[in-house]
Amino acid sequence: MPKANKQKFSMKSVPIYAVLILASLLSLFPFYWMFVMATRPSEAYNSIPPAMIPGTKLVENFQNVLDQIPFFQAMWNTFLLCTITTLLVLLISSLAGFAFAKFHFPGKNVLFVSILLTMVIPPQLGLIPQYYLVSQLGWLDTLFGAGIVYLLNPLGIFLMRQYVSQSVPDELIEAAKLDGCSNFRIYRSIVLPIIKPAFATLGIIVFTLVWGEFLWQFTVLRSPESYTLQVALASLNESYNMDFGMVLSGVFWATVPLIIIFLMFNKLFISSITEGSVK
Amino acid sequence: MELTRAKAKDKAEPKKRKLSESKKDMLSGYLYVAPFFIIFGIIGLYPAIFSIYLAFQKWSGFGEMEYVGMQNFTLVLQDPLFWKSLYNTLIIGVMGTAPQLIVGIILAYFLNLAVIKFTNFFRVTIFMPYITSMVAVALVFGVFFSNNESALANYVIGWFGVDPINWKTSEWGAKIAISLMVFWRWVGYNTIIYLAGLQSIPKDLYEAAKIDGANGVQQFFHITIPLLKPFIVLTVFMSTVGALQLFAEPTVFLGGSAFNRDEAMTVVMYLYRDAFNLNSFGTASATAVLLLIIIVIIASINTWLTSGSKRRKKVRAKHAKG
């Protein structure tokens, strides 16, 4: 949009700003409020009007969280689970995406269309057999069991195939072959460096998906030592007489890392949404 | 092509290549897609088929399976709780997603206006709820909408003279609270998708409309909405499928009583309860198959309703432009 088209501030845009500011405030309020509650004693919850300014119990509430759940263990488990599954999905998707984009082999199109079909199967359909399978492997209550289902990521292959065919020129591959490069060497030394931006996009999609997924982790992980953050947080809500300050302290500290990562890479996050869904 | 391959052969000769270049490529091709398809077989295809098989068996997870024909389906379909959970899922689905899509379009439209500044700031803040996990959202909203008289939600409705509500244990209270948390978490996500859609609409269309005397509202309904249609179809499809799979929000929101009460039990919760609380894997699998059928039917109806007959023309127009 050329600069000349930008109009000067006009009174007409005031209501539009009002709506946008209201939307921003409503979006941010729960974040602010979970911080307020994380710093307040539980009794503050019964005050009318409700507390809106931070209190002094930040450390104490978090101490209570640590008494309830192995918070740092859960965070470490989540971190491991997210990192390893993301790396494996990147590897699997980029290899397959490379093959679909650049190699000719019989049955290629049939295989590619069958990936489309896998995207239609809702994850709940496989829940019970997956649970059975994982229990047969002895992986119940382990991160292996929790992680294995995320390795199936058809979207990743779509993104990678798209990216490889757009940004890796055939001539480059031909030239590398003339120089005697093996196909794997081409993948490692030529394709990988070029598709780094696609790694960032897909990496963020997979990482946030695994970070926040609940149904499967809740099904497989049963003992506190193997809890991920989501399962651990959910377990805070089990008791009848719960301490709201403690619960929201847990939520707050579990959300802070993600907020920091998001604010650092917000452009990437937002573009990953449009690239991941608008294809 | 022939030439380069011949050259390649010449050069490679000293290394004693047994396979031709194209055979090698074929092998590499299969080898590189193999990891995905092995995982797909184990995690995707086998469980899906096994689930359909299980739907016709009686099985507690241990011991022998027993073929029972359609019995699991009749059991589920005759269970009032199944219908209640389907009803809940649909109500929460409509209340949680329809307003989300409408508000998303309006916000995206505003963000796309040339006169508006600080758009990046608004984009980031409106999108931020999406990065919180479903569990975190459910817990925070669980405190907003607790049964206490002093709960924030009760305080706010008090301004309008409404008496405090037992949000977690009333028929509509639970549904409204859950719909609101779904709305809050996803509205920014849809705004971003719509914004991408709006940015793909050529600006000169609006200029031309302005010259022809169309006002803002007319432009919105005659240019923006029709050209945004592919994006609307996409978000309606995704929201529909997502809404029918609702599990984490009600489960965490209700905490310990989630599977004992029926105000907010969804189909996936019903399935989960059958399988893991009641050890009835057969009926749970039958529910999973029914859920698949329901998702396919409702998603097709919604996609058909939103796409309509004009869609193809518009999509083609868009592709020609872009």
- What percent of chain B clears pLDDT 70, i.e. is strictly above it? 90
Measured from the Cβ of residue A181, the count of other Cβ atoms closer than 10 Å reads 16
pLDDT reading at B15 higher than 60:
no
Which of A89, A128, A208, A279 best probes binding to B when mutated, by most B CB atoms within 10 angstroms?
A128
Per domain, the residue ranges of chain B are: 80-321
**pLDDT at residue B17 in the model:** 52
Residue whose C-alpha is closest to residue B170's, from B99, B263, B102, B246: B263
Question: Residue B292: what residue type?
Answer: L
Instruction: Choose the closest CB to A180 out of B12, B61, B276.
Output: B12
Which structural domains are found in chain A, ordered by start? 64-277 (1.10.3720.10)
The residue that leads in pLDDT, B292 or B116, is B292
B116/A187 touch (CB, cutoff 8 Å), yes or no: no
Two tokens, residue B266: 């969804």
Over residues B35-56, the mean pLDDT reads 93
B66: β partners: B58
What is the C-alpha separation between A38 and A32, in angstroms, rounded? 10
> What is the residue-wise DSSP string for B168-214?
TTSHHHHHHHHHHHHHHHHHHHHHHHHHHHHHTS-HHHHHHHHHTT-
Q: Over the stretch B86-100, which tens digit does the pLDDT of each residue have?
A: 999 999 999 999 999
The string of DSSP codes covering A144-202 is: HHHHHGGG--HHHHHHHHHHHHHHS-HHHHHHHHHTT--HHHHIIIIIHHHTHHHHHHH
Whether this model's ipTM surpasses 0.85 comes out as yes
Record: fold of B80-321: MetI-like fold (1.10.3720)
Pairwise CB contact (< 8 Å): B143 & A247? yes
CB contact under 8 Å between B32 and A251, yes or no, is: no
Residue B63 at interface with chain A, using a CB cutoff of 8 Å: no
Task: Give me the helix-helix angle, A71-102 and B21-39, nearest 10°.
Answer: 150
Residue percentage of chain B with pLDDT more than 90? 63
pLDDT at residue number B252: 95
The whole-number average pLDDT for the span A142-154 is 94
Residue A1 to residue B125, Cβ atoms within 8 A? no
A-B contacts at Cβ under 8 angstroms? 295
Taking residues A249-277, report their average pLDDT: 89
pLDDT higher for B19 or A129?
A129
User: What per-residue confidence (pLDDT) applies to B113?
Assistant: 86
Q: Please give the pLDDT value at position B255.
A: 87
**Residue A7: CA atoms inside 13 Å, Cβ hemisphere, count?**
9
Mean pLDDT of chain A: 89
B311 pLDDT exceeds 80? Answer: no
The reply to whether residue B28 touches residue A37, judged by beta carbons under 8 angstroms, is no
> What is the pLDDT at residue A8?
57
Return d(Cα B243, Cα B90) in angstroms, integer: 8
For residue A61, the distance in angstroms to the closest alpha carbon of chain B comes to 15
Mean pLDDT, range B31-52, rounded to an integer: 93
Cβ-defined contact of A27 to B126 (cutoff 8 Å)? yes
Which run of H or of E encompasses A226? none
A133 contact residues in B (CB cutoff 8 A): 42, 46-47
B58 close contact with A: CB closer than 8 A: no
